[in-house]
Amino acid sequence: MTASPTARTTASGTAAATGAGFDGTAASAAYRNALQVIGAVEPRIAEAIGAELADQRASLKLIASENYASPAVLLTMGNWLSDKYAEGTVGHRFYAGCQNVDTVEALAAEHARELFGAPYAYVQPHSGIDANLVAFWAVLAQKVELPALEQAGVRHVNELTDADWATLRRALGDQRMLGMSLDAGGHLTHGFRPNISGKMFEQSSYGTDPRTGLLDYAAVRARAKEFRPLILMAGYSAYPRRVDFAAMREIADEVGATLVVDMAHFAGLVAGKVFTGDFDPVPHAHVVTSTSHKSLRGPRGGFVLAQPEFADAVDRGCPMVLGGPLPQVMAAKAVAFAEARRPAFAAYAQAVVDNAVALADGLRRRGVRLVTDGTDNHLVLLDVSGFGLTGRQAESALLDAGIVTNRNAVPADPQGAWYTSGVRIGTPALTTRGFGAAEFDRVAELIAGVLGGTTPTTTSSGEPSRAKYTLADGLADRTRAAAAELVAAHPLYPGLDLG
Ligand SMILES: *Cc1c(COP(=O)(O)O)cnc(C)c1O
């Protein structure tokens, strides 16, 4: 049901429409002066900041979770808003003098509500993990704590007897979460043991159809009916397809679960109206969590959208699970959301998906196997086992050749979560630089060339190594030069000169 991407035309002139590379001229003097001020205290930090710009500019960045924020977003984060404590919510702070932070937070939340068509937005979470923790504790408060308080005839946990409090604490720790398995593309924060969510919830997973690699909604429903979770999680960090959130909500309703959608990876595609109707999580989920720095192209941070019944519980995120908000980052979120409400952002989001389709087509044509055989979002998951390589070898060989990716498990990965058989790549960052379909086809050619020219080293026992490899003579240098040429043709922050 999610397999067929809608017909898309790749607009020529996309680069111009999306504001390619973000003109950095106006920010040039500000950054030159700032680095001088910083350098006078700790020159090595000023140097590292400058070096990072150079590295970002030189890199063919295909990391699916990364992007480039605009100079406006970046500049908004470096100022005295940072010096203010503002625990609580707008108009209800635990500290005095928060009027400007109130303005900032209210504006960020208003932009988020308008951008996503959400009844309520909470912009304090410092990261995606924090947004999920806020959401999980809001659901626990609403579905477990509130009924317990009502039953005891009290309004506040402090009024419970010690015995009732002990019972409630056990109940809070005895809930279930159903989420997408890690090897199908789910995220560690969706109830997996190494993350605190796995210590809070009894977790069970749904996977993808082993034949097609696609989400199997009938299987999700069957698992949900058996497992009866409090929370049904949807969302992913390595699934290359759309998710039918209307279908997920139906399943949640059938089993009395709360649907929480983590759109950390694809929030930009929701904001840019590429994912609409059944594929837009906002109208269907009880609670939506997200990062702001991935495809959404804002500052590093998180946020939560919710239906009105969860709004009060989400508002308690700080100091429930969050430290004091970062006002400078909330301000930058407001700027990023304002940018995302402009028509140019919708063009950007569409270009991200068009480019991913071009990249997938280019790889497939050159013999690279893809999980689900393609994509309808911003990412492509390569199965490199056909080249006799592990994901780790492919990731390192590509990096040697100037191509930045990350290894990732594929469904039922025989190489496990460390070596893996996959490489995950995405288009948000290079699309921000103005890459179009032709450039991504060239990227596909470079990647396929590196994979085809990489051979695993044979270990002393005669087995192929899972980590070591050799690259064909001159391949790394040739690819590096080609990657550098592509990147040079699409400068990042043109006009930004640190002097
Ligand atoms: C990236 C990601 C997160 C975590 O975001 P951080 O800001 O790194 O904490 C959570 N959930 C999903 C699905 C993600 O992709």
> For the chain, which domains are there?
82-340 (3.40.640.10), 344-489 (3.90.1150.10)
Q: What is the residue with the minimal CA distance to atom 15 of ligand 1? A: 237
- The residue nearest atom 14 of ligand 1, judged by CA position, is 264
Q: Is 265 annotated as a binding residue?
A: no
| Residue 2 confidence (pLDDT) above 60 | no
Residue 21: predicted pLDDT: 82
Rounded to whole angstroms, how far apart are CA atoms 342 and 347? Answer: 9
**Among this protein's residues, is 291 annotated catalytic?**
yes
Residue 239's nearest CA partner among 271, 201, 266 is 266
Q: How many Å apart are CA 28 and CA 30, to the nearest integer?
A: 5
Residue 484, class by beta-carbon neighbours within 10 Å (0-12 exposed, 13-18 middle, 19+ buried)?
Answer: middle
Give the nearest ligand 1 atom to 293 CA: 7
Is the pLDDT reported for residue 153 higher than 80? yes
Pocket test for ligand 1, best of 66, 188, 197, 237 (most atoms within 8 A of CB): 237
Q: 499 falls in which pLDDT band (50, 70, 90)?
A: confident
pLDDT of residue 210: 87
Atom 8 of ligand 1, nearest CA residue: 128
Distances in whole angstroms, Cα of residue 2 to Cα of each of 218, 225, 251, 331, 361? 13, 22, 16, 36, 18
- State both tokens at 209: 């159809």
Q: Is 85 a catalytic residue?
A: yes
Average pLDDT score over the chain = 94
**3 pLDDT higher than 60:** no
Residue 12 pLDDT > 90: no
Residue 245 identity: F
Residue 6 confidence (pLDDT) above 50? no
Q: Give 215's DSSP letter.
A: B
The top-scoring range by mean pLDDT among 3-7, 207-211, 220-224, 456-460 is 220-224
Distance 14 CA to ligand 1 centre (A): 28
Give distance in angstroms: CA of 129 to centre of ligand 1.
6
334 Cα distance to chain centroid: 18
Bridge partners (DSSP) of residue 380 are 425
What are the CA-CA distances from residue 164 to residues 134, 169, 172 (Å)?
24, 9, 12
In the DSSP assignment, the letter for residue 435 is -
What is the rounded CA–CA span in Å between residue 202 and residue 167?
A: 18
Q: How far is CA 191 from CA 45, 201, 222, 368, in A?
A: 37, 6, 19, 32
Q: Residue 264 Cα, ligand 1 centroid: separation in angstroms?
A: 6
Q: Tell me which of 87, 216, 441, 445 is the catalytic residue.
A: 87
pTM for the model stands at 0.94
Residue 279, pLDDT > 60, answer: yes
User: Which one from 8, 23, 57, 85 is the annotated catalytic residue?
Assistant: 85
Question: Residue 424: which pLDDT band, with cuts at 50, 70 and 90?
Answer: very high
Average pLDDT score over residue span 397-418: 94
Protein residue whose Cα sits closest to atom 6 of ligand 1: 128
Question: Is 188 annotated for ligand binding?
Answer: yes
Output the six-digit token pair for 72.
Answer: 């406006």
In this predicted structure, the answer to whether residue 17 has a pLDDT above a threshold of 50 is: no
Contact 292, 301 (CB under 8 A): yes
**How many Å is the Cα radius of gyration of the chain?**
23
Q: What is the mean pLDDT of residues 373-382?
A: 97
Mean pLDDT of the region 471-498: 96
Q: Point out the catalytic residue in the list 130, 244, 262, 395.
A: 262
Q: Give the pLDDT mean for 125-143.
A: 98
Whole-number Å distance between alpha carbons of 455 and 393: 9
Ligand 1 neighbours, Cβ below 6 Å, are 65, 127-129, 187, 189, 235, 237, 262, 264-265, 291, 302
Helix (H/G/I), strand (E/B), else coil: 440: helix
Nearest CA to 355 out of 145, 24, 64 is that of 64
Q: 398 among the known binding-site residues?
A: no
Q: Any catalytic annotation for residue 262?
A: yes
Which residue has the least CA distance to atom 4 on ligand 1?
128
- The Å distance, Cα 426 to ligand 1 centre, comes to 15
| 78 assigned to a ligand binding site | no
51-65 tens-digit pLDDT: 999 999 999 999 999
Q: Which atom of ligand 1 is nearest to the CA of 301?
A: 7
SS3 466: strand
- Residue 135 to residue 150: CA distance in whole angstroms: 21
Q: Which residues contact 9 (CB under 8 A, 6 or more apart)?
A: 354
E-assigned strand segments in 359-434: 369-370, 379-383, 403-404, 406-408, 422-426
Which pLDDT score, from 0 to 100, does residue 18 have? 47
How many angstroms is it from 46 CA to the middle of ligand 1? 28
Q: C-alpha angle 73/76/79, rounded to 5°?
A: 155
Task: Determine the distance separating the centroid of ligand 1 and the alpha carbon of 239, expressed in angstroms.
Answer: 14
Mutate to test the pocket of ligand 1, among 136, 236, 291 (most ligand atoms within 8 A of CB): 291
Most distant pair of Cα atoms in the chain: their distance: 76
pLDDT, tens digit, 9 for 90 and up, residues 45-104: 999 999 999 999 999 999 999 999 999 999 999 999 999 999 999 999 988 999 999 999
Cis status, amide bond into 456, omega within 30 of 0: no
Residue 167 in tokens: 């019972």
Q: In the prediction, which pLDDT does 101 show?
A: 97
300 catalytic per annotation: yes
Residue for token pair 């998951």: 381
Per-residue pLDDT tens for 437-465?
A: 999 999 999 999 999 999 999 988 999 99
| Residue % of the chain over a pLDDT of 70 | 96
**E strands in 244-402:** 258-262, 287-291, 302-306, 369-370, 379-383
pLDDT of residue 19: 54
